Structure 1
């Protein structure tokens, strides 16, 4: 069983290099007792000068440097297209993998052969405490941050033969939401696995992003005619200060419909999937 780990990084400091290396090492070391699992590590790197730097990754790491600027889905697609594994992991570089994280996912896969999308759990997250599972070994669902954690998605590679590659209009914000509806549209179940644990060191990455906050959130112009009227309500006006997020919001709802329509489509879609009628979703989602 070959697993292709697709890891996104922008190796501009020693701390980021160390974090990425620890991510890779913990991923492999956590499955060292399972000799049937082999790893292919694909690092999709934003630092276009990394080969001229002092940051040298182990020989087992294939470093790929896209020619374009960072785009979350586009960079993941580069990895998916380069991957050889039966499964692919869509990973941030700020992860620490716990023992048997992938073996536990394979146990669920054995019970549910048709399931092709999985997430581990981080019990330090407020969205998935131990009580979330209520004693169950896994939970099906599509809710972003609760069932689908975009920092660590595991999928069978052939899933993308059915759904197509990730939509590259989503450069960062609303990428997880789009993945969720993509699965529902194609009638594909997703599961979060209680005994597959991965820690997400989100705060460290946030500190790096904070230095670029102004450019990251504001470096985009949005025509006023494209901004939905409900954005100007008291509840939503905060999005006007985060232009990149607002851009993602607009792209998402132009693709899938208004927030109300998305909620209705998702509810009906989940019912169809639960009753084995998920193939109908492509006609109305």
Structure 2
């Protein structure tokens, strides 16, 4: 990890200290999981979390001083040991101050800048915006990649810059922060990253806010053309905010000031905070006695897995007449042909609990599996989707049990489609699972959907639900199987522009 991230993140922290001529000593690799490491200042240990995402380190409460690059409004304020740390901006601070004297944003130009590289979670958004700008403004839309210094200098001759965030559609990423530092007026969706001093970027003060889908960009750009003086004022405000929070002197003054205050670790959320009701949807296709027993075993292991959680179980059974009803279990029989997402939607709508778990029928639930996921969601409310660890599969992917919360969107590795645990409020955003996906690519579609909406999914590695086999799909005939594979891939590729 140290080699992979040194230049971008470790190097950024180190270069800011070197600029201040601070004495720095190197010790052993101090990383504490993914995208986090520890440094010591005058014998005070602090955590630096450089992740773009909303999750925190396992047991983050035990660290009195935890500084996060993308400390986010609405997600992190509840934790009194958690503080914002300015995200990556510059490595060569002497170069920045030199160029700051040369780059003078006047908004008198006509160029609309949007040169961020489309990749990762920002691939579709950045391509969408660049195509929109090119189609509407032609040669006035600057979208090609150029050398970095020129990327900064062309601010002087621009009208405005359209900044499309990276990992999430609401973070302050590097290119955007650099433009603010040089006093450019920028347009982007609402930014929730907070800077040292718990400073917020205020729309129409530090940047121009557009809609999350960028559909109103032409309107925002037209306003810039009409009121260029206002654009200059916004750029000046943005640069002042940067100078007050994010240069090495201001950044490290903030860190030292916070660590001099007395802090205590935060306790684990008490059990009384946990809402103990979960709606569990199980998809079953018991065409024979063996498959029926698989479903029966799944239900039994579920109902005995927790002492303090109430499970409301809905079994969506394709074979009429097969009945699993008992206390806490209801069997429903769909009237439509098999569709994985359609059946999950049907079962989910039968309940109203604050948590929903979408399951295959071939699972073994271990003790405390659900309470451990709920505790993670209570501690970090941004987690709206999660999967437990399968002790048969995940170790083959290099993931060990009890290795913390692992954020990600890779199907099977992170999104274990055989068991997806959700806060019900996720459906306020995603609405319905797309019923076009009958089986194959259903998990892929779910992954792309929650990524598109910047919703946080984690693998909870101390929660154990073992997946036995893909019994549901085995019972389909050959023609149906072909529909569940090749046709579903074409549908997925068209929907998410994968071709």
Tell me the TM-score normalised to structure 1 length: 0.73
Give the corresponding residue for 1:18: 293
2:445 equivalent to 1:178: yes
Give the corresponding residue for 1:88: 356
2:406 equivalent to 1:139: yes
2:447 equivalent to 1:217: no
Q: Deviations over 1:207-244 (max 9, x none)?
A: x81x64423323xxxxxxxxxxxxxxxxxxxxxxxx53
Q: Deviations over 1:87-144 (max 9, x none)?
A: 111001100001110111122112211111000011211x544842596311000000
Give the 5 Å matches for 1:4-153: 4-32=279-307, 35=308, 37-50=309-322, 55-125=323-393, 127-129=394-396, 131-133=398-400, 136-153=403-420
Per the alignment, do residues 14 and 247 of structure 1 end up closer, same or farther by CA in structure 2, a change over 3 Å counting? same
8 Å CA contact 1:116, 1:188 repeated in 2: yes
Per the alignment, do residues 47 and 134 of structure 1 end up closer, same or farther by CA in structure 2, a change over 3 Å counting? closer
8 Å CA contact 2:315, 2:324 repeated in 1: no
Q: Deviations over 1:162-208 (max 9, x none)?
A: 111100000111000000011011110100011111111106x27x8
Give the corresponding residue for 2:83: none
From the CA coordinates, give the structure whose radius of gyration is larger.
2
Cα distance in 1, alignment partners of residues 305 and 479 from structure 2: 37
Give the 5 Å matches for 1:163-202: 163-202=430-469
Q: Secondary structure at the match of 2:383?
A: coil
8 Å CA contact 2:401, 2:462 repeated in 1: no
Cα distance in 2, alignment partners of residues 151 and 71 from structure 1: 15
Cα distance in 1, alignment partners of residues 402 and 306 from structure 2: 24
Cα distance in 2, alignment partners of residues 63 and 134 from structure 1: 33
Structure that is richer in helix per residue? 1
Q: Deviations over 1:75-96 (max 9, x none)?
A: 0000111122111110011000
Identify the structure with bigger relative contact order (alpha carbons < 8 Å, sequence gap 6+).
1
Cα distance in 2, alignment partners of residues 135 and 29 from structure 1: 22
Cα distance in 2, alignment partners of residues 134 and 91 from structure 1: 20
Cα distance in 2, alignment partners of residues 56 and 134 from structure 1: 32
Give the corresponding residue for 1:161: 428
Per the alignment, do residues 66 and 104 of structure 1 end up closer, same or farther by CA in structure 2, a change over 3 Å counting? same
Cα distance in 2, alignment partners of residues 57 and 166 from structure 1: 26
Per the alignment, do residues 100 and 129 of structure 1 end up closer, same or farther by CA in structure 2, a change over 3 Å counting? farther
Cα distance in 1, alignment partners of residues 340 and 435 from structure 2: 8
Give the corresponding residue for 2:484: 244
Tell me the TM-score normalised to structure 2 length: 0.43
8 Å CA contact 1:142, 1:180 repeated in 2: yes
Cα distance in 1, alignment partners of residues 287 and 388 from structure 2: 28
Give the corresponding residue for 2:56: none
The CA RMSD over aligned residues, in Å, is: 2.0
8 Å CA contact 1:73, 1:172 repeated in 2: yes
Per the alignment, do residues 135 and 66 of structure 1 end up closer, same or farther by CA in structure 2, a change over 3 Å counting? closer
Cα distance in 2, alignment partners of residues 117 and 214 from structure 1: 33
Cα distance in 2, alignment partners of residues 101 and 216 from structure 1: 34
Q: Deviations over 1:27-56 (max 9, x none)?
A: 121112xx2x11101011111243xxxx55
